[in-house]
Structure 1
């Protein structure tokens, strides 16, 4: 029988777990490489891609068996992340086949994001796909799936107004600062980290009129480059305490696996500030800022989960556009599903063609060796081309019908019937293959001999 490719996703996001749990499953670059290598080396997984952002971690995989894929991914999480998967399992969601496909399309278009319709996730999905491709864990199914989901997301961006007003986690962070201070043009903002999230946050701060920006990063060169883009200044990581003393707003988004600001350091900073209020926004996962800092007076600390309230105010206008976006998703998902289902019957079509070609060649060789032996080479070529044309014409309608019934819920029954009808059998590697004419004659002879006895 045909081997069906299973598409599985196992994930955790802002809807299913608090940041304390999500950060346990956040992947560093080295962990991502190890995880993809694990999947590449295990035969139970055919393809794999890992999406890891501040709000979600999702592992996409294909293989022959959903249960095997799930077990291997759990094993990978245990080995690479060093966690007890039973502890986080209640927070995980598992989708397969159509639901997995729909989930990826929805995520890529920003329809499952904390900020509905945000566009940053599109770049993150493309990055996950690129890294998986580079690691050699992407095959034909994921090439088609991820490309189609990106196409769908781009259609949503151009054909709807869902992202008309900038709204991402970084934007929400700046909006929260604005609500606290009223105006930002007379405030000093300190950015810890020089990555993509820091750049997006800086862009929003700049749009809101912030004139004094300080960028601190462990790599001073990256801090210089980012600060220069927005007329800000950069500083060495070791001098962050002096920068904290000056700042009104601190937005932290580093890739550190541990806290970069702890309670003891901030207590010292607050003494130097003489108690002047400071606003801290931690949009990193894992978190950059020790939550115990909230115990100190005149410090207002918000982490990524606290941004939900700010995000809510942006949702109303976007919900209307989301209806249009979901219609686009439906069209694009349907297009992928047609392709995917057709791939399931491709081995059947290939086996049918091989069988027809085998019969054509055998019969042609017999005829050219006997009754048509006197034909010239040119005439023999004409006869060969004619037989090829006849076979292609005979197979044309059956092939079209096979592709059509691939979309039917009873497709397995149709496939089994055709295999029986055309005497196609499963090969040693699970692929369909036609019996050769000689094998058929031997099988028929055995049956006849058995009947005589």
Structure 2
């Protein structure tokens, strides 16, 4: 829109509702911007995410908040007044949780707002921003952590619409591209790493520490790679037994799993823990029991399950989740063409949703304004019906067409201005102009939150 047109309307704006338009923000870190040593300081258990979002709202000025915390990312998705800069307060909150200087976190964080924040959310939901492109776990995690925030009343109509649309975008990406045709995940990448270490896994014994979704996927891929000896240990013994039975494995008590380590070639850890559950001191007797055979440990935990210094012990080879980067890069290369198709979809969806998000707000105004002027037109024609009856039918049709054309010409500029403002990155102009038009023409319109059911 031209500056001349902007200057014509901006002096007229008022805000009768007294409420500023909202802006969408994303502040976070992920596997590409921060090492695991930092990510594990900000790894929040699912059970804490609802209360965490409540505290963020109370301390930052944000109006809606969803916290996303996975092994590869920690993000705050928030909305707040367009007059409020949220990147600083949200970063300060995260740095406080990590007990680190805000300046240090600034070196690793990313910030998105407005249309860019929507695009980022859609990329995350579609697993285009994942370490392993095409993995399916992130969408489930996104849905679950959104539900937690909603259950704690931390989500309003704007974030709800954004998240629900991100789920639809992810479905479209999976239906229209082959980015996820081959079952991939962090767990499958871990098994691929094990296959690089051992040419043949058929004679190896694997222990899974943890029995959650990540461990279950790992078990599936290990068995598919030829592993026949599987040991499962889990804090919930029954859950460990259930997982082991599904794959014809053995379950051992969590408090005694270290007794079985000497017979294990590959150990995969994926439990939620505040700190390491396997310390370096426990490894020496294990290696003596293995009589010189090396042991490989793959740590998928965030925070990490295994003491990082274990890697310094001779005969022990430890890989954490960031070690999967090379394997993930191979997956990314395989999916480059399909990922490019998916990026086109993301671009289309973020643009169309942005325009819909703000364009929908002006559509009732456009309809109401046209209805107001059309009512005036028909009313005046009705008042002149005595004169019109004396006119020939062709002349009456010409009069009808002429008055319709007058209304259309009057509406052309205000409609153009409203639509242009709705497409701008700063959508506040559309809201202010809409309010002004309603008061100027005394339009009647029912305001309602369409995101809520009846």
Same fold (TM over 0.5): yes
Alignment CA distance shift 1:416-1:7 (3 Å): closer
Whole-angstrom CA distance in 2 between matches of 1:417 and 1:188: 68
Could you tell me which of 181, 194, 200 is aligned with 1:177? 194
Aligned to 1:267: 284
Q: Does 2:154 align with 1:137?
A: yes
| C-alpha displacement of 1:322 | 0.9
Aligned to 1:251: 268
Alignment CA distance shift 1:267-1:59 (3 Å): same
What CA RMSD, in Å, does the superposition of the two structures yield over aligned residues?
3.2
| C-alpha displacement of 1:13 | 0.6
| Equivalences for residues 137-216 of structure 1 within 5 A | 137-216=154-233
Partner SS state of residue 181, structure 2? coil
| C-alpha displacement of 1:84 | 3.4
Whole-angstrom CA distance in 2 between matches of 1:219 and 1:411: 51
Aligned to 2:115: 98
Could you tell me which of 268, 292, 312 is aligned with 1:295? 312
Q: TM-score, normalised by structure 2?
A: 0.78
Query: Tell me, which stretches of 5 or more residues in structure 1 are unaligned?
Result: 361-392, 425-432, 437-453
Q: TM-score, normalised by structure 1?
A: 0.78
1:361-414 per-residue CA deviation (whole Å, 9 max, x = no partner) reads xxxxxxxxxxxxxxxxxxxxxxxxxxxxxxxx99xx799767634434397667
Q: Is the 8 A contact 2:418 2:433 kept in 1?
A: no
Aligned to 2:248: 231
| C-alpha displacement of 1:28 | 1.8
Whole-angstrom CA distance in 2 between matches of 1:408 and 1:157: 28
Alignment CA distance shift 1:418-1:133 (3 Å): closer
Alignment CA distance shift 1:245-1:142 (3 Å): same
Aligned to 2:419: 404
Aligned to 1:13: 30
Could you tell me which of 67, 71, 74 is aligned with 1:54? 71
Q: Is the 8 A contact 2:361 2:431 kept in 1?
A: no
Alignment CA distance shift 1:419-1:287 (3 Å): closer
Q: Is the 8 A contact 1:149 1:332 kept in 2?
A: no
Whole-angstrom CA distance in 1 between matches of 2:60 and 2:327: 45
Whole-angstrom CA distance in 2 between matches of 1:313 and 1:195: 26
Could you tell me which of 40, 46, 51 is aligned with 1:34? 51
Alignment CA distance shift 1:403-1:120 (3 Å): farther
Could you tell me which of 116, 128, 132 is aligned with 2:133? 116
Q: Does 2:339 align with 1:319?
A: no
Q: Is the 8 A contact 2:418 2:434 kept in 1?
A: no
Whole-angstrom CA distance in 2 between matches of 1:418 and 1:164: 46
Farther off after superposition, 41-50 or 244-253? 41-50
Alignment CA distance shift 1:342-1:264 (3 Å): same
1:42-84 per-residue CA deviation (whole Å, 9 max, x = no partner) reads 5821111111111111110001047443344234325544443
State the number of aligned residues: 393
Whole-angstrom CA distance in 2 between matches of 1:412 and 1:293: 55
| C-alpha displacement of 1:334 | 2.5
Alignment CA distance shift 1:94-1:416 (3 Å): closer
